[in-house]
Amino acid sequence: MSLETRFERHTLPLEYPFTIARGTTTETEVVTVRIEDEDGTVGIGGAGPSAHYGETVDTVSAVLPDLLAAVEDVDDPHRLERIERRMRETVNRNPAARCAVSIALHDLVAKSLDVPLYRYWGLDPSETLETSYTIGIDDTETMREKTETALERGFSTLKVKLGTDRDREIIETIRSVAPDVTLFVDANEAWTPREAVSKIDRLAEYDLAFVEQPVSAEDPEGLEFVYERSALPIAADESCITLEDIPRIADRCDIANLKLMKCGGLREAKRMIHAARAHGLEVMCGCMTESNASIAAATHLAPLLDYADLDGSLLLAADPYDGVPVDDGEIDLAGLERSGTGAVLE
C-alpha cells in the first residue's frame, strides 16, 4: 500500500470576538492533514493548537513532516497502534499535531471500510447528546444578546465563561432570558480556591449543572479544597490533559473534561474515557475553536460521554468543512450519510 500525505494551514475568523479569563481572540489558526491511499480514498484530520499548551500553527507545521513520514513508513493506516507508537517515538509532545494525523487515519480507515467512525468503534448512534454552546465573556448586555441568539438557534445547553468581577450579574442576566436551559460555567483557572468556594455558593441558586476548572491547574491542592467544599459539581479541564492525569484528578473533581487537542488523538481519548469511568468520574469532551476537520471526529465519541462541549466549529464565522449534523444542538450521528468522520470540504 502506498500513502500520500500533505497538510495546509488556515486562518478562520470567529463569528464574535471570543473572550475567556485569559484573553480575547477574533480568529483561530488551524492545520488540516490529508492522507490518501492508493485507491484515492482521502482521510481528513485537523489540528486546533492552543498556545496555552505550548502549540501554535508554526509548531504543528514544523513537526508534521516527521509525523507524516512515520505514517508513510508504516504504510498501512489500519495499523493504528503501531503508527501511534511510532508518532510518540518521533514527537513525544505536540499533541494537536499528533491528533490531526490520528483523526485523518481514523477517517481513512473507516472510509476504506465504508462505515461511519461510530460504527467502526461499535457505538450506538442513538445514544447521543446535545452539545453546549459557549457564551464568551463580554459586557453583560452583549452576553444577553448572544444568549438570545443561541436560544433562537435551538440550543438548550449553554456554557458561560466567567472570571470577572461581575460573575453573578452575568449568570443572573443569562438566567433571566434562559430560565430553562441546562447551564454550566467555566472560570478557566481564574479564581483562588477560597474565592471559588464563595462564588460557587452564590451561583448555586441559579441551578447550574457544574463549574469547570475554578482554580489554576498548577494548584492541585486548591482544586481539592474547592471540590471538598463546593455546592456544585466540579469539572477538571486544564488539570486533565492526558491519561496519566485521570488518577491525579479522581479525588479532586466530579467530571473529567478531555479534549483531542490536549491528549493527542482518538485512541488516547478513548483510553481516558474508560480510565475516568474506572475512577468513578463522569466524562465530558470539549474542544478548542476548530473546524469540522477535527470536531467531526470528536462528535463520534458522544455515545461514550455524559456531556459534550463540541461547539468549536459553530463559533466560526464560516467553516470550510462540513461535519456531523447538529440539529438544535443535538449531535445527530444517525443522520450522518457519509462514511468516516463525516468531515468533507464544502
| Length of the chain in terms of residues written | 346
First-to-last C-alpha distance (Å) of the chain: 28
Place 92 in a pLDDT band, splitting at 50, 70 and 90.
confident
According to CATH, the topology of domain 119-345 is TIM Barrel (3.20.20)
Q: Does residue 329 contact residue 27 with C-beta atoms inside 8 Å?
A: no
d(CA 189, CA 56): 21
Q: Does residue 2 register a pLDDT over 90?
A: no
pLDDT in tens, 11-30: 999 999 999 989 999 999 99
Domains 4-115 and 119-345 share a fold: no
In percent, the amount of the chain with pLDDT more than 90 equals: 98
Domain range annotation of the chain: 4-115, 119-345
Average pLDDT over residues 174-188: 98
Residue 156, all three cell numbers: 438548550
Q: Does residue 1 register a pLDDT over 90?
A: no
- At 88, the amino acid letter reads R
Q: Which of 262, 295, 345, 265 minimizes the C-alpha distance to 67?
A: 265
d(CA 343, CA 346): 9
Q: Which residues contact 56 (CB under 8 A, 6 or more apart)?
A: 29, 49
According to CATH, the topology of domain 4-115 is Enolase-like; domain 1 (3.30.390)
